[in-house]
Amino acid sequence: MTKLVKESIEDFLLEKEDEPLGLAVLGTPAGGKSFVMDKIAKKVEDSRIKKTIETGENLTIDKLREEFQSKDPVQQLKGFVKAFYFMKKQAKEDPNEFKHWYEDIYNLWKDKISKLITRFKVTVQDNNLYFNGYHALKNQKFLNNKAEAKNVIKELHNYTDYKRVIRFFQEYKQEKAIDKKIGVSYDESGDEPNKMLRGLTKLHKSGYVTDVFLIHPENVASNIIQNYYRVVMGGDYGRDSSEAIVQAYLNIEKSKDLYKQNSEDIMKVKSKELLKSPLPKEIQEPLKYANVPDDEERGDKPIDVFMEVQPMDPKTAYISYGKKLKDDKRKVWKALLRYAALWLKDLPEEAKQTLLNLTKDTSNEEALKVLIDAANSKRYIFKYGGVTPELVNNAKTVLK
């Protein structure tokens, strides 16, 4: 490999010390990304990875949402103003990728926030935001009323209404990290590769080494199994990500080759390979020796190392997570898997049949009764979901 050749060990060490790392961990939700990164951080002989994970800027959306929502309500509202204009600029530069994101923040202001603010008039017209007729970005002082800001924030959905402002916040944090030359890491689905490649290219041009890990199963049933384990246990406050999982999986299937086409070193491994000590040489070396200078033979590509990791197969996942659950929780979990197989739109047929086969000792009628009892007990209802009356109503339409 040309990338591995160095004039001297001294040059290599000096160069490596100066190179910050951009680490992107991609994959369909509930796919074992945390497990993979834990193993890589512990076993790859590259201090950049460990340093980035431990002390770098974590740009994972869930973490950023929590950080942003902890801020003063006035500052949050000002962030929504900045997000409006940031997305407007992005949509103008790249309408194919960002028009939808801009429309989201535009409609949020027009249809919701403008109605929640009553102390002054908020208008959205001609792709601009106005406070009492004044340009909002230049007159954010209108928002300096803590009581009103608190009331407005209280009415916003803390997940869907924050999607675009958190993307603005992510870009802001990345720019700050680049200025300081510190490592950055992402935990994303990666189902919009052009957006991800845009960010990686920016890091690449700023002197970052870029490692991308795509945790992607052959059968998305593996992710559905892990998702409902998390729902039953109240992880992620009970949020059911199954619909997002299916859509992300299908999108990644269609577009994952874009990552490969934009990478210098490409690997495909099974997650069990990461359990070996030491790591196999073919995994260890491309990560350890990746560096900023481009390989002249392969061109100027924004990803230095791309590793596709195949997580455990559905049967293994079913056995593994099933062992962690006690009788009552296990029954609810199995009922949810049977419900998912029949309810989820666009679920690949292979995944559907896999889930039905794994839960074949539970009839549809039994599964429905378990879900009804679980909802009535309220023991499986959490902040963002769980076994809710709404889920039971959906289940009644398919578990007949």
Predicted confidence (pLDDT) per residue in 51-69, tens digit: 898 899 999 998 999 999 9
End-to-end CA distance of the chain: 58
For residue 15, pLDDT beyond 80 = no
Query: Which stretches of the chain are assigned E, i.e. beta strand?
Result: 21-27, 57-58, 122-125, 128-131, 134-135, 184-188, 209-215, 263-270, 303-310, 381-382, 385-386
Q: What contacts 55, CB < 8 A, 6 or more positions away? A: 182, 183
Q: The pTM is what?
A: 0.83
Query: Residues 336-364, buried b or exposed e (16+ Cβ, 10 A)?
Result: bbbbbbbbbeebbeebbebbbebbeebeb
How many Å apart are CA 356 and CA 168, to the nearest integer? 41
Residues counted in the chain: 400
- State percent of the chain over pLDDT 70: 94
Tokens found for residue 230: 């998390």
For residue 322, pLDDT beyond 90 = yes
pLDDT at site 8 = 42
Give residue-wise pLDDT tens across range 188-203: 888 889 999 999 999 9
* Residue (of 329, 309, 382) closest to 24 by Cα position: 309
Select the more confidently predicted residue: 360 or 158: 360
Torsion, CA 244, CA 250, CA 251, CA 256, rounded to 10? 130
Tokens 């689905």 correspond to what residue? 189
* Residue (of 48, 45, 47, 4) closest to 207 by Cα position: 48
pLDDT at site 236 = 86
How many Å apart are CA 170 and CA 370, to the nearest integer? 41
CATH fold, domain 2-6+19-63+170-310, is Rossmann fold (3.40.50)
How many Å is the Cα radius of gyration of the chain?
23
Tokens found for residue 1: 């490999």
For residue 1, pLDDT beyond 70 = no
Average pLDDT value for the chain: 91
pLDDT at site 285 = 87
Q: How is the chain split into domains, by residue range? A: 2-6+19-63+170-310, 65-165, 314-398
Instruction: Check if the beta carbon of residue 3 is closer than 8 Å to that of residue 265.
Output: yes
**How are beta strands 134-135 and 385-386 bridged, if at all?**
unpaired
pLDDT at site 290 = 80
